[in-house]
C-alpha cells in the first residue's frame, strides 16, 4: 500500500485518539476484582488510546445508556457449549457517545468452575485454561472516528462470578458475570474489572 493510501486509512484513528476518561478518574488501576456490584473499570491503553474508565456503580452512573452482558453458545457433543461472553457498554464519556465491548472466548466455559484463571491466547475458542480476549471500541467526533477490534492479547483473565438459572438445554439467560483481566498487546497494557448483568443469549449454529 502506498503511503498516501495508508495515511487515508489511519487518519480517522489519529483524529479521534484522545484519552477516554470518566469524571474523577485518576490513579493506579485496580489490582483485583472489585466485587459483585455491577461495575466496569477499564484502565490502560488500547490501540494506543489512553483509557481511564471507572464506573464503579453502574446503576448510579447517569452517563451510562446501556451496560449488558451476553452469553453465546455453540453446538457440542453433549449439548450446547458456553463458548464466550460479551460485555457491552454504551456511555457518554467526555461528551462523546462511545461504545466499548469486551469479549472472552473459550472452548467451553462450563468446564471451568469459578474462580477460574485463564492464560490469554491468540487463537479463538482455545481449549483448556486458555482464553481469547478482544476489545472493541467505536465512537465518532467532529474530527474523525475510532473503530477498533483488538484481539490477540496476552496476560491473564480470571472469572470470579457466574450466576443465573440454566434452562433445560443448559442455556443461562440471566444472572451476573464478574471477573478481572490484566492484558498486554504490543505496547498496550490494559486492566479490567467487571461485573455485568446478563440480558441476552445467542445460539450460534
Partner 1 sequence: MSLRALGLWLAAALPAAAEPTAIRVEAAAETEGMRGDADDPAIWADGADSLILGTDKEAGLHVYGLDGAQRAFLPDGRLNNVDVRRVVVGGRELGLAGATRRDDETLVFYLIEAGTVRRAVPWQHAAIPPGVPADDIYGFAMGLWEGRPLAIVNFKSGHVVLWRVHEAQGTIGLTPGRVVALGSQPEGMVADDRAGHLYVGEEDRGIWRLPLDPASEEAPRLVVPIPSPCLPRDDVEGLAIHDGADGVRRLVASAQGIHRAALFRLEGEADPVCEALVEVAPGAVDGVTETDGLDVWTGPLPGFPEGLLVMMDDQNAGFTTNFKLIDWAAVAAGLP
CB of 129 to partner 1, least distance (A): 31
Q: Render the burial of 70-98: b for 16+ CB within 10 Å, e for the rest.
A: bbbbbeeeeebbbbbbbbbbbbebeeeeb
Residue among 99 and 154 whose Cβ is closer to partner 1: 99
Residue among 5 and 168 whose Cβ is closer to partner 1: 5
Burial of 42 (0-12, 13-18, 19+ CB in 10 A): buried
| Distance from C-alpha of 115 to C-alpha of 173, rounded to nearest angstrom | 20
The answer to whether residues 156 and 129 touch, using CB atoms and an 8 Å cutoff, is no
CB of 94 to partner 1, least distance (A): 16
Residue among 137 and 160 whose Cβ is closer to partner 1: 137
Q: Which residue bears the cell 433445560? A: 168
Selection from 76, 79, 12, 74 nearest residue 49 by Cα: 12
CB of 77 to partner 1, least distance (A): 21
Residue among 7 and 23 whose Cβ is closer to partner 1: 7
Selection from 178, 179, 171, 176 nearest residue 201 by Cα: 171
CB of 115 to partner 1, least distance (A): 33
Residue among 134 and 162 whose Cβ is closer to partner 1: 134
CB of 178 to partner 1, least distance (A): 24
How big is the CA angle at 140 (ends 135 and 141), to the nearest 5 degrees?
135
CB of 102 to partner 1, least distance (A): 17
Q: What are phi and psi of 163, to 5 degrees?
A: -125, 170
| Distance from C-alpha of 91 to C-alpha of 130, rounded to nearest angstrom | 30
Residue among 9 and 14 whose Cβ is closer to partner 1: 9
Interacting residues with partner 1 (CB under 8 A):
1-2, 4-6, 8-9, 12, 65-66, 90, 97, 99, 138-142, 145, 147
Amino acid at each position: 500500500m502506498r503511503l498516501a493510501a495508508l495515511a487515508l486509512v489511519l487518519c480517522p484513528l489519529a483524529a479521534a485518539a484522545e484519552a477516554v476518561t470518566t469524571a474523577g478518574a485518576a490513579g493506579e488501576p485496580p489490582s483485583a476484582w472489585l466485587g459483585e456490584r455491577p461495575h466496569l473499570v477499564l484502565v490502560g491503553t488500547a490501540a494506543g488510546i489512553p483509557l481511564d474508565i471507572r464506573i464503579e456503580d453502574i446503576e448510579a452512573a447517569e452517563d451510562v445508556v446501556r451496560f449488558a452482558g451476553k452469553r453465546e453458545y455453540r453446538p457440542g457433543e453433549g449439548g450446547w457449549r458456553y463458548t464466550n461472553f460479551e460485555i457491552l457498554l454504551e456511555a457518554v464519556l467526555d461528551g462523546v457517545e462511545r461504545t466499548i465491548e469486551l469479549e472472552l472466548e473459550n472452548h467451553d466455559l462450563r468446564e471451568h468452575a469459578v474462580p477460574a484463571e485463564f492464560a490469554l491466547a491468540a487463537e479463538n475458542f482455545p481449549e483448556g485454561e486458555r482464553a481469547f480476549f478482544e476489545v472493541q471500541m467505536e465512537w465518532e467526533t467532529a474530527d474523525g472516528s475510532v473503530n477498533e477490534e483488538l484481539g490477540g492479547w496476552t496476560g491473564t483473565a480470571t472469572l470470579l462470578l457466574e450466576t443465573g438459572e440454566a434452562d433445560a438445554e443448559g442455556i443461562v439467560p440471566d444472572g451476573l458475570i464478574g471477573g478481572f483481566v490484566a492484558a498486554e498487546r504490543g505496547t498496550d497494557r490494559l486492566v479490567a474489572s467487571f461485573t455485568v448483568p446478563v440480558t441476552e443469549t445467542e445460539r450460534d449454529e
